[in-house]
Every structure is written in C-alpha cells, then in structure tokens.
Structure 1
Amino acid sequence: MPHHHTLPRRLSTALVATTVAAVLALSGCTGQPQPQPTNAGGLTESNLTYREVDGEKLGMDACLPADGDGAAPAVILLHGGGFVEGNRSSSGMDDLCVWFAEHGYAAFPTSYRLVPDYTYPSQVEDVAAAVQYLRDPAQVEELGIDPARIGVLGSSAGAIIALQAAMAGEGALDQGSRLGAVVSLSGVADMSEDAVDLGEPSPEAVSLMLAYLGCRAITSCEGEAASPLTQTDPTDPPALLVASQHDLVPVEQAEVLDSALTAEGVPHELIVLLGSGHGSQLLTEKVRGSILTFLSDHL
C-alpha cells in the first residue's frame, strides 16, 4: 500500500511535472572523452546499508580514491528513472562513481525508495539519512571521508530529489543532513500549478510528477511546498545547474532557479548545452571538467 506523506512546508514543490518523462530515457553514458584521472580509484565497498525502513534495507556503494591526502570529500550520486524505476547502478552511476574516485572524491551511488509504494517526501528523507550515515564517526573513519564536505549529484528524477534535499533546512552546511554542494543534471525547481507555464512540459511528465507527489490532479496538489524554488534561502549550498536547450525538462526550470539563487546570494552556476540531452547525457567532457572545478571551489 502506498505510503503518502503530508508535504512539509519547508520542502517546496519546484519539481514541475516536466521532468519524469525525460527521466526514463537517461540510462546510459554519453560516450564523450573524459578528463585524465589524477588518482586510481574503484569500487571498494558495495551494498552498505545506510537505512532500514518498513523492513526494507536501503543501500549505497562506495568508490574511494586510492591515494588521497587526508580525508576525501564525499559525493552522493542519485540515479534517474522517473521515480518509478532504476537503481543506484543505473543512469551511468557506476561509471560516474569510479570517475569521481579517480579524481580524488569518495563517491556513493545511493538507493532511494520508489513510487508508487513510496511518495514524496520519502525520497528526500532517504537522502537526509544517507548524509547522516556518512557523517557518523564510524563511517568517517572506515571510509576516510571528510564529514564537513558532503555533496550530492543527481540525474533527472535524482536531480529533483538532490535539489529538494539541498535546499531543505537552514544553517551550517557541515552539520546534520545539510549538504555542502549540489550538482543538478536536468532537475526541476518548480512543481507548483504555475510550473505548467514554464516551457512545455509533456502530459506524461506531469503525470509522473503528480505520482511522485502523491496527487491526483495538479490543481489539488501542494506542489509549491515541495519545490526547491520556494525553499531557497541565503544558507543554501552552492549549486551547479546543468540543462540543455531542448531538454525533456524545460530549460526554464533551471533558469527560474538560477534567478532565485541569485536573489538569495547563493553561489551557483548555470550551464545550458545545445541540443536535447537529458540527465546523464549532459556529462560531456566540458561539463565533467566544470563539475570538478565547481566541487574543488565549493566542497
């Protein structure tokens, strides 16, 4: 039986019904050349249980840098799949995990609960639990990570969850479940009724977004309360927003969040690529370089 939650006011609904249809299409890598690695890394831990809910164990894998100087910054990786499918190995997350480790980061492809059995905010709660798990002293010591530097990267549906988790809460970014930086690949910022006017979201995308929010119709849905757009404040973490001109998620979604973060004085960058790439398809060589520069500067 689906677990429907009351939408908390702090979690705004900026995840417009335009993201999910596109999400189903992002399961592969781009095939683009990658920057040369600076460290040797690889999958060193698998199926680490970070949370158990209703008898279901939620896990993550770990790719750790082989030669790090001190504690490594950590990046949680969230897959796409329209909220209804996919796992922590899909959407190119396995390859991205190793790539991060090769460049000095500890990366953690992370599972989260899926629709229809679980609706929002279950997925955001899972990410919060994953952050707290990585901050636990036992994990910090075993995995060699810096608990003050934990970021998140999400693709498509995962980008929506990443933005919601990153914009939730206020205050110091190195405590509790707060995140130090967020990278969004085709994320949605506005899930309110007004979001249908941002670009041209498809009916299928709207349907998937409503299913994620646990709603039957957009007119009766509290999407505004779940939107990253309405959660922004000056203490939000630095954000890297990546989209394409003809993305399955209208580029207007990234642009409206770009404006909101500017108004709040939050460090951020917006990258809009030519074409119609979506989610992990946006990981060109240039974008990967931008991600490394962004994380080096802010995490």
Structure 2
Amino acid sequence: MSPSRGGQTEIVSPDTGVEVHRDLAYASVDGRSLTLDLYMPEHRTDACPVVLYLHGGAFMVGTKRDFAQERLLPLAHSGIAVASAEYRFSAIATYPAQLHDVKAAVRWLRAHAAEHGYRDQRVGAWGASAGAYLALMLALTSGSGEHEGTLGDHPEARSSVEAVTAWFAPTDLLTADAFHPPPDRRPPPFISGPPPQPSILARLLGVANVAENAGLAASASPLTYAAEATGAFLLMHGDRDALISEDQSRRLHAALGAAGADSTLLLVAGANHEDPAFDGPAVLGAVSEFFRARL
C-alpha cells in the first residue's frame, strides 16, 4: 500500500472533535493532482464508517471545502469519516472524466483505510446537485469498464459504493435539461441572469444540444442503470426546486423500487435547490442515521 501523498493535518477545534487531513492526493491527471480532504472523528475507539462527499456547482464551479461547516463537520462529529473530493469541471474535461475521478477517489479510500482508521468493507457516497449525480453514478455503474477509468494507483481496489445519499440530483439528463419551472417557483438566490448556453448538461456531455444527443444523454443518466441497482439509496429533494424538478428523484426512486433496491425518498417541504433547509438538524440527522444503518 502506498502512503498518502501530500496534505497537512489539523484539529478544526476542540469543540468539533474532528481531525482534518487536507489536500491528500488521490490521483493525478494531465500533470495535475486531484485531492481530497479527510474529516476523521477524533475520539474514536474503533474503525468508523467512511463516506465520500461530492460538492455541487453545475460541474463548473465549487470546491471540496464547500459547506464544510454545515455538512462535513457535523457528519464527522457524529462518528462517520468524511472524505470531500475535488473533481474536474466540464470546462476542463467532459463526461465521463468526472466519474473516472470520483471512482479513483473511492479506490484510494479503500486502499488507505487501515492507515487512517476507517472501515473499507462498505463505503458510502453523498452529494448535492452535480455531486449527487456523481454519487449515484458511482453506485449504479459498478464494474463497468467504460465508466471505470484508469486513474490512481490502486486498480486492484473496488470503486463501488454500498450506500448513497443524493440531494436534488439530475437522474435523467434528457428531461432534466428540458425542465422549465412553473411560474411560481423562483430561482434560488445564488442564480442570476439567463441560463447558460450551451446548457449546463450540454457542457458536461461536450455537445451543443442535449436533445439532439439523446443516446449520449441516456448513457450518462443514473436512471438508465437503475434496473441493476444494488445497495441502499436515500434520495432527498425540495418540492419547490426551481432548477432540478423533484420528479427526477421521484422517477429514480420508482425505478429503484421496481428493481428491488433499498430506496427511500424524502421530499423537503418548501425547499428550493441548495436550500438552507437541507443543512438543518432534521435533514442532517436523517443522513447520519442512514449511513450508520447501512455502513
């Protein structure tokens, strides 16, 4: 087993009881290191579960430290190790590069479990928006060569995940791209100006128009792979989402149920996309409980 490369360790504060290992390189591509931050419960007496967190940002922006205070530290404080990983944006590389990145991150986590003190038998994934999409694809494309990629130093390690929490994810890229919110749904406050052209999902796929590339969109959609699903899924969506319709989570939940998978759908009343309601104790408590039960 190769040692962790780079990084630094800090105790966030005595109050959190969390130790953070920052900027650990999990893979390298085109001369650039891809890194993650590892949040470890400080006062653990045994190996703890581990969850990979993937940030949102339309595959265009965001960092692995987004929502650290609101999400990553609370989950780690509850006794679950959290690894928050960066991945390439669509302006740098198009799909499936992002999936290759996060699969390499899972392989790294499994390979370095003994070194850091978390369990590697079952790994979880948690994401918001674009990150939720990637978390779902991690779970639903296990063992597929075209989705796997060759990044990282641990080809022998599994890239599968056994439990996923997905917040407001696009699950069918064709219909997600065509979504127009009802007039009574206002964009979240971080959105200004007209939608980008080409669209966010067109940029991810590297095309000018998603509708004219339906086959590619289907091959990149979590919904396509739901029939072969294993593991456990917690899908959460605001019922006032103005960017990604809650029907995206409803449809995936139905497909997972039809496949016999362990799937739970929770709709957050009145919540928009990336709504502060998701960072409240009720939602975060449900996430922690889900991972504790399945990992």
Structures share fold, TM-score greater than 0.5:
yes
Tell me which amino acid in the other structure corresponds to 2:263: H
Distance 1:238 1:96, change over 3 A: same
User: How far did residue 77 of structure 1 move?
Assistant: 0.9
Is residue 243 of structure 1 aligned with residue 237 of structure 2? yes
In 1, the alpha carbon distance for the partners of 2:289 and 2:180 equals 30
Report the counterpart of residue 146 of structure 1 in structure 2: 119
Q: For structure 1, which runs of at least 5 residues remain unmatched after alignment?
A: 1-38
Size of the aligned set, in residue pairs, is 254
Is residue 158 of structure 1 aligned with residue 131 of structure 2? yes
**Equivalent residue of 1:123, what SS?**
helix
Report the counterpart of residue 48 of structure 1 in structure 2: 24
In 2, the alpha carbon distance for the partners of 1:271 and 1:229 equals 18
* RMSD, matched Cα: 2.2
Report the counterpart of residue 39 of structure 2 in structure 1: 63
Q: Is the contact between residue 77 and residue 108 of structure 1 (CA under 8 Å) also seen in structure 2?
A: yes
User: How far did residue 170 of structure 1 move?
Assistant: 5.4
Is residue 218 of structure 1 aligned with residue 191 of structure 2? no
Over residues 133-160 of structure 1, what are the superposed CA-to-partner deviations in whole Å (9 max), with x where a residue is unaligned? 0111xx2122101111211110111111
In 2, the alpha carbon distance for the partners of 1:246 and 1:153 equals 21
Report the counterpart of residue 277 of structure 1 in structure 2: 272
Is residue 122 of structure 1 aligned with residue 117 of structure 2? no
**Equivalent residue of 1:254, what SS?**
helix
Over residues 15-74 of structure 1, what are the superposed CA-to-partner deviations in whole Å (9 max), with x where a residue is unaligned? xxxxxxxxxxxxxxxxxxxxxxxx953243110000000101000011101222321111
Report the counterpart of residue 29 of structure 1 in structure 2: none
Write out the 4+ residue segments of structure 1 that deviate beyond 4 Å after TM superposition: 194-199
Q: 1:133 aligns with which of 94, 108, 112?
A: 108
Percentage identity across aligned positions?
Answer: 31
**Equivalent residue of 1:232, what SS?**
helix
Scaled by the length of structure 2, what TM-score is found? 0.80
Q: 2:81 aligns with which of 97, 101, 106?
A: 106
Q: Is the contact between residue 229 and residue 256 of structure 2 (CA under 8 Å) also seen in structure 1?
A: no
Is residue 185 of structure 1 aligned with residue 150 of structure 2? no
Q: Is the contact between residue 78 and residue 162 of structure 1 (CA under 8 Å) also seen in structure 2?
A: yes
User: How far did residue 122 of structure 1 move?
Assistant: 0.7
- Bigger radius of gyration, 1 or 2? 2
In 1, the alpha carbon distance for the partners of 2:275 and 2:172 equals 21
Q: Is the contact between residue 44 and residue 64 of structure 1 (CA under 8 Å) also seen in structure 2?
A: yes
**Equivalent residue of 2:72, what SS?**
helix
Report the counterpart of residue 256 of structure 1 in structure 2: 251
Tell me which amino acid in the other structure corresponds to 1:147: D
Q: Is the contact between residue 139 and residue 229 of structure 2 (CA under 8 Å) also seen in structure 1?
A: no
Q: Is the contact between residue 71 and residue 284 of structure 2 (CA under 8 Å) also seen in structure 1?
A: no
Higher RCO (CA-CA < 8 Å; seq separation 6+): 1
Q: Is the contact between residue 41 and residue 98 of structure 1 (CA under 8 Å) also seen in structure 2?
A: no
Distance 1:107 1:227, change over 3 A: same
Which range is displaced more, 286-295 or 123-132? 286-295
In 1, the alpha carbon distance for the partners of 2:177 and 2:24 equals 39
